[in-house]
Amino acid sequence: MAAARRLIAIAFVVTLCGVVSGCGDTDAAPKSPVTVEKTASAAATREDAFVRARVWMGPRVPVEQADFSRNPPGRGGFDADADVPCDFRIEPVGGSTPKFVCTLPGGDKIKVKYGVPNGELPAEVAATRLLAALGFPTDRMYKVRSVRCRGCPLLPQQALQCLDHGQPATLCLQGAASDDVVTFAPAVIERPLDGRKIESDTARGWSWFELDKIDAKAGGSSRAEIDALRLMAVLLAHWDNKDANQKLLCPDAALAADGRCRAPIAAIGDLGSTFGPRKVDLPNWRRVPVWADARTCRVSMASLPFGGATFADVQVSEEGRQFALTLLHGLTRRQLDTLFEASGVTSFPHVVAAAHQPSAWTDVFLAKVHEIERGGPCPAP
């Protein structure tokens, strides 16, 4: 029986490798080197787009009407009680959080995040729902009852890392069989923002210290919108802010015939390391201040992991402080209680008893809003 299963697994690997490029192929032909001209062109295209990027688009519905009790609307969405079937794909995934890519019955690809306990799941669901409600573009994260993956290894993340390290597919995928289904519950499905990524050799996304390049006169976001985003990042303690965790996009409808993007978007692409810094960590999130200096409206992430990473200390404008408060004042306590409960933040296996109460998270959130209120008036930059 064991021998037969190994044969099935090997056949499954061979089938997948026939359709997935580079699967276990250590002798693949090297890619053609990128020319200096192409590299310079990509960098110039990205620079042009970033100057004109928008970080805030306005909420689809008034903030006070935002419904945090359900998954976000949109094409290709899922109900919270859905059991989603899919077929495993051998496709690289970055980061340390358990995740994999699979194909839905209709052929659509999805990224699945899984694992218990995994604080990134409720953190990203809550943070994306919150920012989207305030008008900041984010990916759509769908909390589902389960994902039923046909052909999945028992530990997909480890199997994909094994392949990424150059180990043979027959070893990395041992135990996986094309007719077996592995169920992951709970799970979160990511639907990324629509659009084409604008990248260069040296920039996969964007860094927070680049935000000052955005020019409202060129069509980009205003300083108030940018500073409001900075305040939201600090409020959420979004410390894992390397450039790859943000993205510069061109919506499909905004791509001009000459290839130039008419309305680029600069968005946060990964909000899993929030409400912490240890991801949904109530006591430590409570301790993280909004202001490094409330009198001068200086914000900093220097005390967080990676010393703030790409988020350099910066002075927020009074317009930005007021704009952020205008958005935040639209949220009610009832909405926030619902946000923390429906996203799974309160059902996470916390050690601290208070962290299982939605009101405890709402209290900390509103305390941070009050801290923004007490800052300023911010001096001119």
pLDDT of residue 117: 86
Residue 337 lies in a domain: yes
The CA distance from 249 to 309, in Å, is: 22
Residue 83 lies in a domain: yes
281 pLDDT more than 80: yes
pLDDT of residue 94: 78
- Coil vs helix vs strand at 188: strand
Band (50; pLDDT cuts 50, 70, 90): very high
302 pLDDT more than 70: yes
251 pLDDT more than 90: yes
299 pLDDT more than 60: yes
Least confident range of 35-39, 189-193, 277-281: 35-39
Give Rg (Cα) of the chain. 22
- Per cent of the chain over pLDDT 90 is 80
pLDDT of residue 101: 97
Average pLDDT over residues 248-254: 95
**pLDDT tens digit string along 128-170?**
999 999 999 999 999 999 999 999 999 999 999 999 999 998 8
pTM for the whole structure: 0.88
Residue 67 lies in a domain: no
pLDDT of residue 13: 44
| Host H or E run for residue 267 | strand 265-268
The CA distance from 21 to 269, in Å, is: 26
Nearest-10 Cα torsion for 47, 52, 53, 55: 140
| Host H or E run for residue 14 | helix 2-19
Residue 110 lies in a domain: yes
Query: What is the domain count for the chain?
Result: 1
Residue 179 lies in a domain: yes
Residue 245 lies in a domain: yes
For the beta carbon of residue 39, count every other beta carbon within 10 angstroms: 14
25 pLDDT more than 70: no
77 pLDDT more than 90: yes
For 122, the token pair is: 């409720």
Residue by residue, DSSP assigns 287-338 as HS-S-SBTTTTEE--TTSGGGGTT---EEPPHHHHHHHHHHHTT--HHHHHH
Band (15; pLDDT cuts 50, 70, 90): very low
Residue pointed to by tokens 């993205």? 247
Average pLDDT over residues 59-76: 95
Residue 341 lies in a domain: yes
Average pLDDT over residues 308-312: 96
pLDDT of residue 24: 37
Average pLDDT over residues 197-218: 94
Residue whose C-alpha is closest to residue 266's, from 131, 94, 98, 82: 131
Average pLDDT over residues 186-197: 95
> Structural domain of residue 315, as residue ranges?
2-16+48-60+75-374
115 pLDDT more than 60: yes
Residue 68 lies in a domain: no
174 pLDDT more than 50: yes
